[in-house]
Chains A and B, each alone.
Chain A
Amino acid sequence: MGDAQPDDRERELSNLFKELRDRDQENAPPFATTWARAASRVQQKTAWRPAAVGGFGLVAAAAALLIVFGTRDAPRQATVYEVGLPDPEPLAFLLSPTGFDAVDVTVSFDSRPFRYQLDEILEAAQEGERL
């Protein structure tokens, strides 16, 4: 093989591939069988797709409901600067013995009695100022 010219080698490869092709064609599964199996795959896929889409829709709806109702009354946290206090500095001062810097201090409140708690916080802050 080593002394052969490039053209001879190409011809040889062509012959080898031709022999391989002949053998593959003998071993190839019948077209009708392959086509029928492919058709059955398509049918299987189209059969489970509506169920999968429906299932996914139900799960998505359940997750959305869970998020809406789960977070509606959940406790929330915000820094004293974020809760909208007119002057957060007194509250920050009050909480400073706990070891936090004013910017790190967070207040926790439920959403429903938020206004009430905020009043309490403001009151405490004013008390602190008076002290």
Chain B
Amino acid sequence: MTPAGDSSEGGAQALRDQIGTLHAAAYGWALTCCRRDHHDAEEVLQDSYAKVMSGRAKFDGRSGFKTWLFGVIRRTAMEHRRRSLVRKLSFRRYQGESSPSVPPAPDDAASRAARAAAVADALPELAIRQHEVLHLVFYEGLSVGEAADAMGVSLGTARLHYHRGKKRLLKLLDERGFAHG
């Protein structure tokens, strides 16, 4: 087990350091779990860290630390979604990062930014499970099996979401005029 299981002061510091190294990935994952809403993602991330800090979420060593942390973030995001449904708050749909009308040249920085924006724009249109598995595989570089662990689903289910999600995302990008290359 990693120092994350240690409740002493040194253990708390080790836990903080360990989460610190995963912070960027955790933020990316929180964005995915919140349908790429930056405000919600920050809220979820703070809540997830608070859970870890207070001991409400404890790493037990049954999975990798990153997989466990991603699980905590995913559950916290689900709680947030439920709460916002119950409260009937206005849904903050993902705005900005609109897809460009003309496909840009492939090699310059503006083009890369536009392509990233197009993906960011298309991803929330996928089913949440498809979005999650594509994120874990392509963004985090996990295998589909590891993604299934992080998502808390079976390998078969993860594979199904992976293939369907990939197909749908490519179709959406085609519709936005992003040619292969």
A interface residues (Cβ-Cβ under 8 A, vs B): 1-4, 8-10, 12-14, 16-25, 27-29, 31, 34-35, 37-39, 41-42, 45-46
CA distance A28 to B23 in the complex (A): 9
Residue pair B49, A34 in contact (C-beta under 8 Å): yes
Known A23-B117, A31-B23, A38-B49; 17 more pairs at CB < 8 Å: A2-B180, A13-B138, A13-B166, A13-B169, A16-B115, A16-B138, A16-B173, A20-B139, A21-B28, A23-B120, A24-B24, A25-B27, A28-B28, A34-B27, A34-B42, A34-B45, A38-B45
A19 to chain B: which residues have CB within 8 Å? 112-113, 115-116, 119
B16 touches A35 (CB 8 A): yes
- In the complex, the answer to whether B173 meets A20 with C-beta atoms within 8 Å is no
- In B69-96, which residues have CB < 8 Å from any A CB? none
Check: B38 CB closer than 8 A to any chain A CB: yes
Of the candidates A1, A18, A34, which one forms a contact with B23 in the assembled complex, judged by CB atoms under 8 Å apart?
A34
Cβ of B28: which chain A residues have Cβ within 8 Å of it? 21, 24-25, 28
CB distance from A16 to the nearest CB of B (A): 5
Q: How far is the CB of A41 from chain B (nearest CB, A)?
A: 4
The answer to whether the Cβ of B47 comes within 8 Å of any Cβ in the partner chain is yes
Given contacts A42-B53, A42-B54, A23 and B174 within 8 Å (CB-CB): no
Residue on A nearest B21 in the bound complex, by CB: A31
| Residues of chain B within 8 A of A34, CB atoms compared | 23, 27, 42, 45-46, 49
Which residue of B48, B49, B169, B180 is within 8 Å of A4 (Cβ)?
B180
Secondary structure type dominating chain A contacts: helix
Question: Nearest Cβ in chain B — how far from A30, in angstroms?
Answer: 8
A-B contact count (CB 8 A): 98
Q: How far is the CA of A27 from the CA of B30 in the complex (A)?
A: 13
Show 29 residue pairs from A and B whose CB-CB distance is below 8 angstroms, ordered by the A residue: A2-B180, A3-B180, A8-B180, A9-B180, A13-B138, A13-B166, A16-B115, A16-B116, A16-B118, A16-B119, A17-B134, A19-B115, A20-B116, A20-B119, A20-B139, A21-B139, A24-B24, A28-B28, A29-B27, A29-B42, A31-B23, A34-B42, A34-B46, A35-B16, A38-B46, A38-B48, A38-B49, A38-B50, A42-B50
Q: A residues within 8 A CB of B48?
A: 38
Confirm or deny: B179 has a beta carbon within 8 angstroms of a beta carbon on chain A: yes
Q: Across the interface, do B113 and A23 meet the contact criterion of CB distance under 8 Å?
A: yes
User: CB < 8 Å: which of A3, A17, A39, A45 contacts B119?
Assistant: A17
CA distance A32 to B18 in the complex (A): 13
- From residue 1 to 53 of chain B, which have CB atoms closer than 8 A to chain A? 16, 19-20, 23-24, 27-28, 31, 38, 42, 45-50, 53
